[in-house]
């Protein structure tokens, strides 16, 4: 499946990522215990009507680890998020 995009997050500085979009991907990553999330597998889509940036996660090659040790490593890497996670209005 191909997703029209404007590049990957490697093409932007992290300060340009909308907080709400980062939170959405973080929450998805926690639900799937994604151990391979990095800027190279998040696409950027700029909406034409309002120039808003939307982040699209791709490449789910390593999620739902089969061992408890791997699951704890994923959670340890995710938990130090500096802002409260929220996707509400």
The span from the CA of 16 to the CA of 32, in Å, is 25
The pTM score is 0.69
Taking the CA atoms of residue 13, residue 18, residue 20 and residue 22 in that order, the dihedral angle to the nearest 10 degrees is: -20
Q: What is the pLDDT of residues 22-49, one digit of tens each?
A: 889 888 887 887 877 788 889 999 988 8
Question: What's the pLDDT at 43?
Answer: 92
pLDDT band at 76 (very low <50, low <70, confident <90, very high): low
Shortest CA distance to 59 belongs to which of 23, 11, 25? 25
Give burial (CB, 10 Å; 0-12/13-18/19+) of 37: buried
pLDDT top residue among 52 and 63: 52
pLDDT digits (tens, 9 = 90+) for 4-28: 899 888 888 778 888 899 889 888 8
| Euclidean distance between CA atoms 60 and 32, whole angstroms | 9
């Amino acid at each position: 499946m191909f997703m029209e995009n404007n590049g990957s997050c490697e093409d932007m500085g992290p300060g340009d990522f909308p907080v709400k979009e980062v939170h959405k991907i973080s929450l998805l990553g926690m639900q799937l215990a994604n151990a391979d999330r990095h800027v190279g597998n998040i696409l950027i889509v700029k909406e034409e009507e309002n120039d808003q940036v939307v982040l699209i996660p791709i490449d789910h090659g390593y999620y739902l680890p089969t061992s408890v040790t791997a699951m704890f490593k994923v959670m340890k890497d995710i938990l130090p998020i500096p802002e409260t996670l929220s996707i509400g209005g």
